[in-house]
C-alpha cells in the first residue's frame, strides 16, 4: 500500500445517505429526494475528476433496501433506468467509465439490460472509474467471492478472496465518506474499507456540494496513514 500522490485520495467511496430525509423536510415525496441525489452524484463525479481522483464508488441501493415501501423501491428502479438513459451520454463525453457492482438476481430484465448497456457504452473511458454499488452488500460480496472460489476448487486465501470481490478491478478506497449524519458504514465495502479513512458529514446527500467534498479531502490530507506501522517507520521510509 502507498500514500496517493500529492496527499490526496486516489479512490473515494461514498454512502449517499439522506435523500429521503431531504425530501421529507421539504414536504416532498421521498422519490424526489432520490432524483436530487442523482443530480448531486453527477456534480460529485465531475468534481472528483477535476481534483485528480481516479475512482469513485457509491452505495446506491443495498440488499437491505428491498425492505422499504414497495412504491419507493419500484420508483427507485424506474429512476435508475431513466437516469442511465439521461446520464450515460454525458458520462461518455466526460470520460467516465461505469461499473455496476451487486447481485443481479431479483432485478428486472429492463434494469439488468440498462446496467449492461451503460457499462458497455463507457467501457473505453479512463478519466474516472465510477463504481455504482446497486443491490449490494458487503457481506454478500464476501460470500459470493468465497462461493465462486469454492466452485472453481481454488484455495480461499486473502489474495484469492480479494481478487474475487466485486471491486477487484480497482484499488481499495483511501477515503470513505458517509453523508446524512449517521456514523456507521452499513454493510458497505466491509473487506475493502479495512484501512480506509472515514469521514462523516452532517449534510444530507442532496446538499453535499463541492465545498463539502473539499472539506472531506482536507480532513484526509491531515491524517497519517500508518497501515500498522509506527510514525517513526513512516518518517524513515519518506526520508530515504
Residue 125 bears catalytic tag: no
Using DSSP's 3-state secondary structure scheme, residue 54 falls into coil
Bridge partners of 62, per DSSP, are 136
Using DSSP's 3-state secondary structure scheme, residue 216 falls into helix
CB 204 within 8 Å of CB 37: no
Contacts of 209 (CB under 8 A, 6+ apart): 40, 43
How deeply is 222 buried, as exposed, middle or buried, from its count of CB atoms within 10 A (0-12, 13-18, 19+)?
exposed
Bridge partners of 58, per DSSP, are 14, 132
CB 164 within 8 Å of CB 151: no
Q: Count how many residues are written for the chain.
A: 240
Give the whole-angstrom CA distance, residue 18 versus residue 41: 13
Predicted pLDDT at 236: 63
User: Which stretch of DSSP H or E encloses residue 101?
Assistant: strand 96-101
Predicted pLDDT at 122: 96
Predicted pLDDT at 231: 64
- In the chain the beta strands, taken as DSSP E runs, fall at 11-15, 55-62, 96-101, 128-136, 175-178, 197-200
Using DSSP's 3-state secondary structure scheme, residue 127 falls into coil
Residue 187 bears catalytic tag: no
Predicted pLDDT at 64: 85
Of 230, 140, 130, which is closest to residue 190 (Cα–Cα)?
140
Predicted pLDDT at 3: 38
H helices then E strands: how many in the chain?
8, 6
Residue pointed to by grid coordinates 462461493: 147
Residue pointed to by grid coordinates 466452485: 151
pLDDT, block means (10 residues), the chain with 240 residues: 60 97 96 94 96 96 86 89 91 94 91 94 96 96 98 97 97 98 96 97 98 97 76 58
* Cell matching residue 173: 478506497
Predicted pLDDT at 63: 86
Say which of 17, 141, 172, 174 is annotated catalytic: 17
Report the chain's C-alpha Rg in angstroms.
18
List, for residues 62-105, the tens digit of each pLDDT value: 988 888 888 888 888 989 989 998 999 999 999 999 999 999 98
How deeply is 158 buried, as exposed, middle or buried, from its count of CB atoms within 10 A (0-12, 13-18, 19+)?
exposed
Give the whole-angstrom CA distance, residue 76 versus residue 84: 12
Bridge partners of 203, per DSSP, are none
Say which of 39, 65, 141, 214 is annotated catalytic: 65
Predicted pLDDT at 136: 95
Amino acid at each position: 500500500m502507498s500514500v496517493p500522490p500529492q496527499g490526496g485520495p486516489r479512490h473515494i467511496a461514498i454512502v449517499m445517505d439522506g435523500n429521503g430525509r431531504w425530501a421529507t423536510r421539504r414536504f416532498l415525496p421521498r422519490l424526489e429526494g432520490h432524483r436530487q441525489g442523482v443530480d448531486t452524484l453527477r456534480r460529485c463525479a465531475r468534481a472528483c475528476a477535476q481534483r485528480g481522483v481516479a475512482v469513485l464508488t457509491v452505495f446506491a441501493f443495498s440488499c437491505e433496501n428491498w425492505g422499504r415501501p414497495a412504491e419507493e423501491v419500484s420508483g427507485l428502479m424506474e429512476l435508475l433506468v431513466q437516469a442511465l438513459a439521461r446520464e450515460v451520454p454525458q458520462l461518455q463525453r466526460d470520460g467516465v467509465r461505469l461499473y455496476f457492482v451487486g447481485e443481479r438476481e431479483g432485478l428486472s430484465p429492463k434494469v439488468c439490460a440498462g446496467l449492461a448497456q451503460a457499462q458497455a457504452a463507457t467501457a473505453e473511458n479512463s478519466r474516472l472509474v465510477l463504481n455504482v454499488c446497486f443491490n449490494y452488500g458487503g457481506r454478500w460480496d464476501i460470500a459470493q467471492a468465497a462461493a465462486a472460489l469454492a466452485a472453481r476448487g481454488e484455495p480461499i486465501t486473502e489474495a484469492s478472496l480479494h481478487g474475487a470481490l466485486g471491486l477487484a478491478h480497482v484499488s481499495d478506497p483511501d477515503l470513505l465518506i458517509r453523508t446524512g449524519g449517521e456514523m456507521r458504514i452499513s454493510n458497505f465495502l466491509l473487506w475493502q474499507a479495512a484501512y480506509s479513512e472515514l469521514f462523516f458529514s452532517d449534510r444530507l446527500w442532496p446538499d453535499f456540494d463541492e465545498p463539502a467534498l473539499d472539506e472531506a479531502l482536507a480532513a484526509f490530507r491531515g491524517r497519517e496513514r500508518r497501515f500498522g506501522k509506527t510514525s517513526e517507520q513512516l518518517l524513515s521510509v519518506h526520508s530515504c
